[in-house]
Structure 1
Amino acid sequence: MRKIMHRSILIAVATLLMLMLLPVAPNQASAAASKKQVIAVPAATLWKSPGIHRKLDLPSLGKNVDLRAWTSAMNTTEKRRWLTGKTETQALYGQEVKVLQRKGNWVQVAVVEQSTAKNSQGYPGWMPEVQLAEVSASPAVRVDRKAAAEVVVASKTANLYKTNGSTKLLELSFGTRLPVVSEHKGWIKVDAPRYGYALLRTSDVKLLEAGQTEKQPTGTQLVETGKAFLGLPYLWAGTSAYGFDCSGFTGAIYRYYGILLPRDASEQALAGKSVAKADMQPGDLMFFAYQNGKGKVHHVSMYIGGGKMMHAPKAGKTVEIIPISTASYAKEFAGARRYLNN
């Protein structure tokens, strides 16, 4: 009897050891690691803290964001200037964010693509949690293997449609990037957060081939892309076609071509390589600082050639082109940087 019990114990121990060596099903932690949080509205505005918004900001805060209504409601310089120091940045539809903490219906997130010294995970700020969607961390499976891997919205705005091609889901901003599923007769089927498969018109996007590095733009291309936004009203913290701040503008133009710059002007001024003012070329960025150019960098513009620059100046102004000799800027010039390999 004792031999039988001893043998049973040995078998049980051996079985337990074998089970421990077998692969186990993914647990909740590994399942969570296979997912990521992305923006599920045309552009999410990140705030310095929850609940500091005004009534007129409500169109930017719900599940169905209306950025046109929001920016139109800010019809005075004072209403736009009020955002200064209260909003941090924006993130476009489909951009990945890391959730840092929660507070009621709000989450503090870090925008992964927007580098900053403020947080190693990305640019931080608070937003309504309802504007997030959870998606697979793996790239979407392309139904058509000949299709491009990704699209970038090239128009100032582009409509995202249901797969019937007639029902509008969202209006997306310039620079929005989405994975491609297939291409067919003037339409691109994309994997769209919150909606699943959806359609964009081929004429509204730039196609990026799978496995290929994005071709470096010329300075002239950067300038021409930026000129499409001349006349667009300045928006503090803006990074979308509904309004830019100074570094949001320069960052968006470079990002369209696959070049990621730091989010803030003061950190863009530390990236790339220094260029003498006399050697500036179109596409180079110019920086301006307090204390006659010797203090902290507070503004950035793009040199367009011919002694002129293009920039998003401040609340109450629009994206414009002015001479680099303009007195208020000339006295604060703090250097130029180049981010292209030429």
Structure 2
Amino acid sequence: MSIYACNLSIVPLRAESSHRSEIVSQVLFGENFEILEEGIDFTRIRLLESKYEGWIQKHQFAPVILAGVNKNVIVDIYGAKATSDSRTVNLLHGTAITGNTLNIGEEHYTIVGALRETTLADFETEFPKLIQYYVNTPYMWGGRSIFGIDCSGFSQVVYRHFGVSLLRDAYQQAESGITVDFLTEIKAGDLAFFDNEAGKITHVGVMIDSETIIHASGRVRIDKMDSQGIFNAELNRYTHNLRIVKRYF
């Protein structure tokens, strides 16, 4: 199986092979995938880590030699750069780093900047930094970065900061973890999931404490949460109906 990787900071992953098609997610620099189908301007791919599928535009990736993915090092919130003889790519928080150098296609990149060895040991000091970094980030369906992020993309990148892998969508994330039975038992970092009128999980947020949640809705925002759901003080009403709370570490 041939392996490929994104060679730009972040690019759209679309539902169909068209620029007008819905962005279902995004692909970060160096993220590995396999090709499922070749189109004229787009290529259908499957990401190796998350198994997520979609269409990526040609010329936004190149072949890569998969030498084993190091899941323990990512780009920190302060950013990094990948530099070759002919280009420089700005790397976003959460980008996985496999080593100090990386070959994608004909480019030999050197990685320089703020890198983080992921661990849960510093959760108490790092989690508040993530809150401050992402708060007021604009909501974008399919987004995975500070330039635009959706609810499950936000929970995913927060957990990646501490070395915990989550699947891409909220309903997928809700399928794992341990249920927290009582709201008073909620701890910082627990994920709260919310459903629609049909009972389908459509939203997720990260608990700051047993009564406060940070989530992406319009923007990354901090709201109060109780047994009914998320209460938006600006709108003076509940906006999301609580379904379940899960713990992953």
Out of 32, 41, 54, the residue aligned to residue 96 of structure 1 is: 32
Q: In the alignment, which residue of structure 1 is the partner of 2:112?
A: 200
Q: Which moved more, 1:281-290 or 1:317-326?
A: 317-326
Structure-1 separation of matches of 2:139 and 2:179: 27
Out of 191, 195, 210, the residue aligned to residue 102 of structure 2 is: 191
Please report how far the alpha carbon of residue 97 of structure 1 lies from its aligned counterpart in structure 2 after TM superposition.
Answer: 1.1
Question: Under a length normalisation based on structure 2, what TM-score does the superposition of the two structures give?
Answer: 0.85
Out of 328, 331, 342, the residue aligned to residue 238 of structure 2 is: 328
SS of corresponding position for 2:219: coil
Do the aligned residues in 1 keep the contact of 2:177 with 2:248 (CA within 8 Å)? yes
Q: Which has the larger radius of gyration?
A: 1
Residues 217, 237 of structure 1: alpha-carbon distance in 2 compared, 3 angstrom cutoff: farther
- In terms of fraction of residues, the more helix-rich structure is 1
Q: How is 1:139-158 mapped onto 2 (pairs within 5 angstroms)?
A: 139=68, 151-158=73-80
1:49 aligns with 2:16: yes
Matched residue pairs, number?
237
Please report how far the alpha carbon of residue 336 of structure 1 lies from its aligned counterpart in structure 2 after TM superposition.
Answer: 0.3
Structure-1 separation of matches of 2:199 and 2:157: 26
Q: In the alignment, which residue of structure 2 is the partner of 1:280?
A: 186
Residues 88, 149 of structure 1: alpha-carbon distance in 2 compared, 3 angstrom cutoff: closer
Question: Under a length normalisation based on structure 1, what TM-score does the superposition of the two structures give?
Answer: 0.63
Structure-1 separation of matches of 2:159 and 2:77: 15
Q: How is 1:1-342 mapped onto 2 (pairs within 5 angstroms)?
A: 33=1, 35-53=2-20, 86-114=22-50, 122-139=51-68, 151-162=73-84, 169-180=88-99, 189-194=100-105, 195-201=107-113, 204-206=114-116, 208=117, 215-217=119-121, 220=124, 221-276=126-181, 277-291=183-197, 295-305=199-209, 307-313=211-217, 317-325=218-226, 326=231, 327-329=237-239, 332-340=241-249
SS of corresponding position for 1:237: coil
- In terms of fraction of residues, the more strand-rich structure is 2
Structure-2 separation of matches of 1:234 and 1:107: 26
Residues 290, 217 of structure 1: alpha-carbon distance in 2 compared, 3 angstrom cutoff: farther
SS of corresponding position for 2:171: helix
Residues 328, 339 of structure 1: alpha-carbon distance in 2 compared, 3 angstrom cutoff: same
Please report how far the alpha carbon of residue 123 of structure 1 lies from its aligned counterpart in structure 2 after TM superposition.
Answer: 0.8
- Letter of the 1:284 partner, please give it: D
- Letter of the 1:190 partner, please give it: T
Residues 218, 199 of structure 1: alpha-carbon distance in 2 compared, 3 angstrom cutoff: closer
- Letter of the 1:136 partner, please give it: I
Do the aligned residues in 2 keep the contact of 1:106 with 1:128 (CA within 8 Å)? yes
Unmatched tracts of structure 1, length 5 or more: 1-32, 54-82, 115-121, 141-147, 181-188, 209-213
Please report how far the alpha carbon of residue 217 of structure 1 lies from its aligned counterpart in structure 2 after TM superposition.
Answer: 4.7
Unmatched tracts of structure 2, length 5 or more: 232-236
Structure-1 separation of matches of 2:174 and 2:193: 7
- Letter of the 2:80 partner, please give it: A
Deviations 1:208-233 (A, max 9, x none): 4xxxxx53356534454243111111
Deviations 1:93-138 (A, max 9, x none): 1111121111112101112222xxxxxxx11111112111111122
Please report how far the alpha carbon of residue 198 of structure 1 lies from its aligned counterpart in structure 2 after TM superposition.
Answer: 1.5
